[in-house]
Amino acid sequence: MTETAPEPPIRALIAPVTPLAQNCTIVWCTKTKKAAIIDPGGEVPRLLEALAQHGLTLEKIWITHGHMDHAGGTAALKAATGATIEGPHRDDAFWIDQMEASGARWGMPEARSFTPDRWLEDGDRVQLGETAFEVYHCPGHTPGHVIFFHPQTKFAQVGDVLFQGSIGRTDFPRGNHQDLINAITGKLWPLGDDVQFVCGHGPMSTFGAERRTNPFVADQVLGR
């Protein structure tokens, strides 16, 4: 008899999109092949092709925050698939409402505004096939930013809250530096040092690595 390791409940694929190389993430339930696309900023035909290549059915569109490089392709993806849009927190509605203007300014004329099927709150859960992710409201970069966390696999998609070696900008309208620091230390760190996370731009990291070395939020920097 040959023993084999059980298949993990989710898998993920990172697909950088838009001229800003935003890390759009395709996650799926391995039992059902139901998928969610997190932050479809653009290049929707390429995302649809990736779904087909992996034999996936798009069930959900999850949005961390309302900036157009993260959410500009949401309306087109919804029109193509009928998938349910969940997120962000309703405090980012003003960003979503100005999506077309932002897209025109940044050379992404295909960006369109949308209305989520479900605004998300801190402590919500979002279902994907036979598994679920936890939702945490992490304002600071934008007031309505949320992150998605899968506790069984210690995997998170944190958008522009935290990066490898950096943190999100807070100089946008309604950004707040202290809120961002509070969200990182109060919402992310308690999830565990072993959590691997996809950030909005750049390479993956772990919360533990950032607590040790991040020049903005390392424990030593914050006097912890």
Domain locations in the chain as residue ranges: 10-213
CATH number for 10-213 (one of 3.30.9.10, 3.40.50.300, 2.40.37.10, 3.60.15.10): it is: 3.60.15.10
Task: Mention every residue, 6+ apart, whose C-beta is less than 8 A from residue 220.
Answer: none
Burial of residue 127 (number of CB atoms within 10 Å: 0-12, 13-18, 19+): middle
Residue 90 DSSP code? G
pLDDT in the model for residue 7:
82
CA distance 197 to 140: 18
- Distance CA(120)–CA(12), nearest Å, equals 22
Output 173 or 108, whichever has higher pLDDT.
173
Terminal-residue alpha carbon distance, the chain: 50
**Buried b / exposed e along 183-198 (16+ C-beta atoms within 10 A):** bbeebbbebeeebebb
Q: Which tens digits make up the pLDDT trace of 172-193?
A: 999 999 999 999 999 999 999 9
Residue 216 pLDDT > 60, yes or no?
yes
- In three-state secondary structure terms, 88 is coil
Note the pLDDT tens digit of each residue in 110-169: 999 999 999 999 999 999 999 999 999 999 999 999 999 999 999 999 999 999 999 999
User: DSSP 3-state assignment of 77?
Assistant: helix
Asked whether 188 and 167 are in contact (CB, 8 A), the reply is: no
Look over the chain and give the mean of its residue pLDDT values, rounded to a whole number.
95
Q: How many CB atoms lie within 10 A of CB 21?
A: 13
pLDDT band at 103 (very low <50, low <70, confident <90, very high): confident
